[in-house]
Amino acid sequence: MALLLLAPLAAAVLAFALPGKRARPRALLAGAALHAAGVVAAWLRPPAPALYGWLALDAPGLVVLSSTSALFLVCAVYAQGYLARRADRENRVFVGGLLVLLTAMTAVALAQHLGFLWVAIEVTTLVTAPLIYFNHNALSLEAAWKYLLVCSLGIALALLGTFFLALASAGPGGPHSLLIRDLVDGGGLLSRPWVRAAFVFLLVGYGTKMGLAPLHSWKPDAYGEAPGVLGAILSGGVTSVAFLALVRVLRVCSAAGEGAFARQSLVGIGLFSMALAAVFMVGQRDFKRMLAYSSVEHMGILALGVGIGGSAAAGAFFHLVNNSLGKGVLFLAAGNIHRAFDSKLAGRVRGAARLLPVSGSLFLAGFLAVSGSPPFASFFSELAVLDGALRGGHHLVSALFLILLSAVFVGMGSTVLKVVQGDPGESARPQAGFGDSPITAGPPLALMAAVLALGLWVPRALSELFAAAGAATG
């Protein structure tokens, strides 16, 4: 477990220390590779809890950790080509920051103490803001400021919620601890009004970090202005760890008897996120902002799945993996298209499939995957959520779920098709030297293959892991 945390941190220190621009991306790759090796080791031999139980790897944590690690590794490979093409920019903060981000995300996945969990999420917020500003222009500065302010506000409210939970456990005979295991064991002794108030603040706080509506206002700006590779890591990794934090909170609330209130809130906010995403995706000209709203929608699906519980929760974890991989494909391909056409507006970009055959078709395939078309994996994960909803008797929720999914499909499809199809001659003049190359097209292709493979066949170990993770939501 130490390797998981220390390897990227050491690589970050190395990246900050290296004087040369060319060598730094190698540090990024080294850190990512070591991290992935650590995750594989954790699969083969589950590590024991460390630090008096503050760090432990359980089923939900392993799901998030694996998907984040895989995504980060692929993005690190992509970043080699990206940073080489952007050799004009100073990349010390970018590379170092990405590695610190990986450390923080790992810490969240391993955290079993709610205070430590909060600190790790705060670190992800603080370290991402300078990364969004990588392009050093007015728009990315605006996006970085909004991100920093909104997410810091959310995190502060989450801290208040954490304190409320600490107070809930401080009653006579209570667990007097913020370790999740202690809180769940002593659930009946937690003070219920405080737990309810805590859940509200924690939902708002960690929901802001996830990007659930109506707390999502930073997402379109941040994802729209950040480089593609950062967008992939943010939408696939950071939102997943924020979701994990919410899942832990849900577990404590269920143990305390406030589970029904918590689940209803999650279902409500999930549906609201999907609806808002559907509304804002219609007529969206900027395809990176469109991807941000797609991320809002998928976070809504995750919240919905966990809120319904049962087999829908297992489906939500499966969907988390698919969302990470699918968003990775979409953001990396979008990054390629943006660079090639020097524009991210659907009106000015046309015929991406002709000019960048691999990236363009990957963009289209990624859209199909993310919006839940078979045979891609997202279809099966969304089906699992729907199955859980119908089994639980939530007919209205299921109906709304299906309607909103189709609305999103239509809204997103119009923009994607406009970008991908057509004749590139009508569009902005493509930049020379930014066509498809193995290093920029290979990583998204690998991720797409993974999504397809998961759709065709889910290994038994994975499906058991998803089921265990779903059961662990309480």
Partner 1 sequence: MARLADMVFILVVVLDLVLLASSRLKVAIRTVAGQGALLALLPVLLVTDEHDWGHVAALAAGALLVKGFAIPRMMLWAMREAAVSRELEPIVGFVPSMLLGAVGVLLSFVFAGALPLPGPEKHALLVPTALSTVWTGLLLVVSRRKAVAQVLGFLVLENGVFVFGVLISDFMPVMVEAGVLLDLFAAVFVMGIVIFHINREFSSLDTEKLSALKD
Contact status: 138 vs partner 1 (CB under 8 A): yes
**289 sits near partner 1 (criterion: CB under 8 A):** yes
Instruction: Determine the Cα–Cα distance for residues 380 and 382; give it in Å rounded to an integer.
Output: 5
φ/ψ of residue 345, rounded to 5? -100, 135
The reply to whether 146 sits near partner 1 by the rule CB under 8 A is yes
Q: Considering only residues 293-332, where is the footprint of partner 1 by CB under 8 A?
A: none
Q: In Å, what is the CA distance from 289 to each residue of 178, 226, 274, 351?
A: 38, 10, 15, 19
Min CB(52)–partner 1 separation in Å: 12
Q: In the complex, what is the shortest distance from the CB of residue 224 to partner 1, in angstroms, rounded to a whole number?
A: 7
Q: Does 149 bind partner 1 (CB under 8 A)?
A: yes
Quick one: which of 32, 36, 70, 148 contacts partner 1 (CB under 8 A)? 148
Per CB under 8 A, which region of 128-136, 181-189, 301-309, 390-398 contacts partner 1?
A: 128-136
3-state secondary structure of 345: strand
The three-class DSSP label of residue 136 is: coil
State which of residues 119, 383, 428, 467 lies at the interface with partner 1 (CB under 8 A): 119
Sole binder of partner 1 in the list 23, 40, 89, 193 (CB under 8 A): 193
Does position 221 bind partner 1 by CB under 8 A?
yes
Nearer to partner 1, 149 or 396 (CB): 149
The stretch among 26-34, 118-126, 365-373, 420-428 that binds partner 1 (CB under 8 A) is 118-126
CB of 48 to partner 1, least distance (A): 23
Task: Please report whether residue 3 would count as binding partner 1 according to CB under 8 A.
Answer: no
Residue among 3, 34, 153, 189 that touches partner 1 (CB under 8 A): 153
Buried-state track 70-96, b at ≥16 Cβ within 10 A, e below 16: bbbbbbbbbbbbbbeebeeeebebbbb
Gap between the Cα atoms of 237 and 87, Å rounded: 26
Q: Does 172 bind partner 1 (CB under 8 A)?
A: yes
Closest to partner 1 by CB, 284 vs 311, is 284
In whole angstroms, the minimum distance from the beta carbon of 321 to partner 1 comes to 29
Q: Which amino acid is at 208?
A: T
**Interface pick for partner 1 out of 126, 390, 405, 446 (rule CB under 8 A):** 126
CA 303/CA 322 separation, integer angstroms: 15
Binding flag, residue 135, partner 1 (CB under 8 A): no
How far apart CA 91 and CA 188 sit, in angstroms, is: 51
- Give every CB contact of residue 128 below 8 A, 6+ residues apart in sequence: 97, 101, 147, 230, 234, 238
For residue 458, count CB atoms less than 10 angstroms from its CB and return exposed for 0-12, middle for 13-18, buried for 19 or more: middle
As given in the structure block, the two tokens for residue 11 are 């690589």
Based on the number of CB atoms within 10 Å of its own CB, is 413 exposed (0-12), middle (13-18) or buried (19 or more)? middle
Instruction: Indicate which single residue of 94, 243, 280, 376 sits in contact with partner 1 (rule: CB under 8 A).
Output: 280
Indicate whether 159 belongs to the interface with partner 1 (CB under 8 A): yes
The CA-atom distances, in angstroms, between 319 and each of 5, 177, 299, 379, 386 are 25, 32, 10, 9, 12
Whether 28 and 99 have beta carbons less than 8 Å apart is answered as yes
- Minimum distance from residue 171 beta carbon to partner 1 (Å): 4
Q: Does 122 bind partner 1 (CB under 8 A)?
A: yes
Question: 3-class SS at 50?
Answer: strand
Which residues contact partner 1 (rule: CB under 8 A)?
115, 118-119, 122, 126, 129-130, 133, 138-139, 141-146, 148-149, 152-153, 156-157, 159-160, 163-164, 166-167, 170-172, 174, 176, 178, 191, 193-194, 197, 220-221, 224-225, 280, 284, 289
